[in-house]
Structure 1
Amino acid sequence: MSVPDSAAPAPLYAKVKQMIAHQVRTGAWPAHYRVPSESELVEEFGFSRMTINRALRELTAEGLLVRMQGVGTFVAPPKARSALFEVHNIADEIAARNHRHHSRVIKLAEEPAGAEQALALDLRPGQPVFHSIIVHYEDDVPIQLEDRYVNAEVAPGYLEQDFTRGTPYEYLSRVAPLTQGEHVVEAILARPRECQLLQIEREEPCLLIRRRTWSGERAVTLARLIHPGSRHRLEGKFTT
């Protein structure tokens, strides 16, 4: 692997970063390319494992690489984009980028509403709500963990849907068309189980969208949408 001349005076970890970035920017390592392991890079560069690890961590934080827990490190594709002020079908967003959407259903069940769900959905505590947890993939990379509560009175057929063939957005748009939505966006560290489902390291920052939606006067859903920060960005337009 060649080293750009400008890398010579840099600290060792910065040299590694520059060498890897050079491979990516010249196209030698295209999007989704599996980066050599830390051990392989130690052998190739002759630097310590700590130096290699720091370079990979920083390149991941900068969005150039994606580290998938238990799988390896890959060159990141261009970041997925979602509209900040609008609600769209994630499958349509992925298809518009000429990529393939598929999903994995982790949970689909009826539960009694807790205090938070009852307040958000204008229900009494203990009333039935439907709870789904779904991982959405762009090609084979998980880009969103959707943790959603649904008002069972508004969408009674929710549990009968096959969400590996269609998304909750598609079903809910048919039975309870969206008339109003609320977004709250936060930067978080995902919980251990969420990191496992998204195949990210514990320290990777994530974008969390807390979303409530209404159809007419009825509250329909309360959702937590978690996106790995290295794989996603939000965009919005406004006028004054």
Structure 2
Amino acid sequence: MTGAGMAAEQVRHDGRDGPLWKQIEAALLQQVKDGRFKGNGRLPSEFDLAEEFGVNRHTARQAIAALVQRGLLFKRKGGGSYVVPEMLDYEIGERTRFSTNVAAQGREPAHTLIVVDERPAHGKAAETLNMAEGDLAVFISLIGEADDIPISVAETYLSAERFPGFGERYRENYSMTKALAHYGVTDYRRDVTRCTARMPSPEDVKHLKQSDSSPVLFVESVDIDLEGRPIVYHETRYAGERVQFVIRRGDL
């Protein structure tokens, strides 16, 4: 008997082991651990799962939704449910770049823009960028993705006075490096990175498509130009179950 068939037999329809969808969730989780979906990581369709477990599609859908909520499965654009790949190694160094980090893992980097605008700078952002409280800052918020899986939500601040029209430049190709080059900043490096664990906000749960009980890695970071002046302040939340940070000896 196949592993799938054995797992299906473990589902009791008399309710003694709890709701059917919870039993199917547990069975699918075991199949993931057993490597049933190795390869492209795609699960059978809801119709096929319903047939396999002898339930209706709504029940199968509930089980899948629960695993998505736990951050173990994800829905790919265009349809289908997939196992979340192994944790991504994200290198923290002097020249940390999101796209470079993701591509180095053999994954496809992408961004989903939430907002680009100008707003008053306060607190850490104003202090770090040597701005007065209330001075206008360029604000960029976006979701970072690897193979269509959200792994980070970033909020970025720059001085609107030093970089007038930066938002428009950024929208041209969604590249921080290329947008900064327009203002003569041909290179920049990471000055400081601070990382703490915290519980996700409702917005984090929404954008990262993860459980509200799974911690995120909250990272504050500052980029400086080659003259040592702070130019960018970031606050980024990473999905803690999908990303681990790597620091090489040369960056210690």
Is the contact made by 2:193 and 2:222 (CA closer than 8 Å) also made in structure 1?
yes
Within 2, Cα distance between the matches of 1:150 and 1:79?
A: 31
**Higher RCO, Cα 8 Å, sep 6+:** 1
Structure 1, gaps ≥5 residues long: none
**2:32 aligned counterpart, secondary structure:** helix
Is the contact made by 1:33 and 1:74 (CA closer than 8 Å) also made in structure 2?
yes
Q: Which moved more, 1:85-94 or 1:101-110?
A: 85-94
> Which residue matches 2:32?
20
Q: Given the alignment of the two structures, is residue 66 of structure 1 paired with residue 78 of structure 2, yes or no? A: no
For each residue in 1:66-119, what CA deviation from the matched residue of structure 2 results, as whole angstroms up to 9, or x when unmatched? 356xx9863121322211233332222333334333222111111121133221
Q: Given the two structures, how large is their TM-score scaled by the length of structure 1?
A: 0.73
Shift of 1:173: 5.7
**2:113 aligned counterpart, secondary structure:** strand
| Residue identity opposite 1:83 in structure 2 | E
| Residue identity opposite 1:152 in structure 2 | A
Within 1, Cα distance between the matches of 2:70 and 2:211?
A: 10
| Residue identity opposite 1:20 in structure 2 | V
Q: Which moved more, 1:127-136 or 1:72-81?
A: 72-81
Q: Residue 105 of structure 1: which of 80, 91, 113 is its match?
A: 113
> Which residue matches 2:214?
204
1:179–1:196 Cα change, 3 Å: closer
Is the contact made by 1:66 and 1:230 (CA closer than 8 Å) also made in structure 2?
no
Q: Residue 85 of structure 2: which of 64, 73, 77 is its match?
A: 77
Q: Residue 95 of structure 2: which of 67, 87, 90 is its match?
A: 87
> Which residue matches 1:151?
159
Superposition CA RMSD, Å: 3.8
1:233–1:129 Cα change, 3 Å: same
Shift of 1:148: 0.6
Q: Given the two structures, how large is their TM-score scaled by the length of structure 2?
A: 0.70
1:168–1:34 Cα change, 3 Å: farther
Within 2, Cα distance between the matches of 1:3 and 1:109?
A: 54
> Which residue matches 2:240?
229
- The structure number with the bigger radius of gyration is 2
Within 2, Cα distance between the matches of 1:179 and 1:29?
A: 38
Structure 2, gaps ≥5 residues long: 11-16, 18-22
| Residue identity opposite 1:128 in structure 2 | L
Within 2, Cα distance between the matches of 1:72 and 1:202?
A: 23
> Which residue matches 2:150?
142
1:41–1:193 Cα change, 3 Å: same
Is the contact made by 2:90 and 2:102 (CA closer than 8 Å) also made in structure 1?
no
**Equivalences, count:** 224
> Which residue matches 1:192?
202
1:169–1:42 Cα change, 3 Å: farther
**2:204 aligned counterpart, secondary structure:** helix
